[in-house]
Structure 1
Amino acid sequence: MIGKRWTFIDWDAAAPSTRLWDLAYAAQAFTLSNTQQAPTEAAQNLAAFVDGYAADPGLRAGLPAAMHRRAAAMYDLLRSSHGTGQEPWGTMYANGHGDHWRAATQYARQHQRIWVEALLLSTR
């Protein structure tokens, strides 16, 4: 840490992607991971995270739907890997990660309107 800012670098799935897809995964993981958290509180955390990233209006507009798609993609990877025996994803699915990402997918989808409102308000 330098000063009051934190920087996170996650290399475990490094591959060509888009800024939106990468931001969706980071935002979902850091701010919407607790599906028991009140959606309005999670929305405040999401807005602060995205403000810290200095996301432009285009990223903000597309982020809520992308977070849902990204969470669903992670769940699908875990579920299908469990079915085919691909590791480490198959074991992770069986050890609770599948349940977590299924709930995260539903949470991200269910509250998209709240995420959109929070992201639009935080730009003002």
Structure 2
Amino acid sequence: MAGGWQASPVPAGPPEVICHNDTAPWNMITDDGSVVAFVDWDTAAPGPRMWDLAYLAYTLVPLAAPENLGPMGWPPEVRPLAAERLAALRDGYGCTPAQWEELLAIVPARIEAAYDTMRIWAAEDRPGWRAQWEQAEPWRHGSGYLRDLEFLRRHPEILR
């Protein structure tokens, strides 16, 4: 729809802010180690602030399965730093304890929503989405998201 939001087909919750919906390292512009801008706002839409922060935690900590770290651009040494990196995100955002519990509970749902959005929009043949769905392994048909969900289900302690 021209001039409208490209809102996800997966409900995120009541809108509070304009969410980027792809807050991830690959969409950050940095200068001397500081984030100065986000790019790639094509999926921006009204949504809950924790929705964006949950995706940022997933991609920036990262909270991915060990076999997905390399393809995401992370060295394996980042895994032992997950708790420290989560704490830095929490403190940097200034989360209250209640907000932090909400965010940690949202992370798996946010990853699943990313998978479902890719699957649905690829089936609708939206520009760019079919190419993402058809990309080579380890991501073909969103399999990276599914591995990450399974990893978090098997290791819920990583979200503490």
- TM-score, normalised to structure 1, is 0.73
Matched, 1:115 2:159: yes
Residues 68 and 108, structure 1, Cα contact 8 Å, conserved in 2: yes
Alpha-carbon deviations, 1:60-105, whole Å to 9, x = none? 1111221100000000111223333233122101112612222222
Alpha-carbon distance, 1:40 to partner: 4.8
Deviates more, 1:86-95 or 1:96-105: 96-105
Superimposed CA distance per residue, residues 96-124 of structure 1 (whole angstroms, 9 cap, x where no aligned partner): 261222222223333333313xxxxxxxx
Unaligned 5+ runs, structure 2: 1-29, 67-75
How far off is 1:39 after superposition?
A: 5.7
Gap change, CA 1:2 and 1:56, over 3 Å in 2? farther
Q: How many residues align?
A: 116
Aligned to 1:45: 85
Q: CA-atom RMSD, angstroms?
A: 2.6
Gaps of 5+ in 1: 117-124
State the match for 1:9 in structure 2: 38
Deviation at residue 42 of structure 1 after TM alignment: 2.1
Alpha-carbon distance between aligned partners in 2 of 1:87 and 1:2, rounded to the nearest angstrom? 31
Answer whether contact 2:118 2:133 (CA < 8 A) is retained. yes
More strand by share: 2
Task: Compute the displacement of 1:34 (Å).
Answer: 4.0
- Report the equivalent of 1:19: 49
Q: Which residue of 2 aligns with 1:122?
A: none
Partner of 1:84: 124
* Equivalent in the alignment of 1:28: 58
Could you tell me the percent identity over the aligned residues?
28
* SS of corresponding position for 2:47: coil
- Is the 1:39–1:114 Cα contact (8 Å) retained in structure 2? no
Q: State the secondary structure of the residue aligned to 1:16.
A: strand
* Partner in structure 2 of residue 75 of structure 1: 115
**Runs of 4+ deviating beyond 6 Å:** none
- Asked if 1:58 is matched to 2:98, the reply is yes
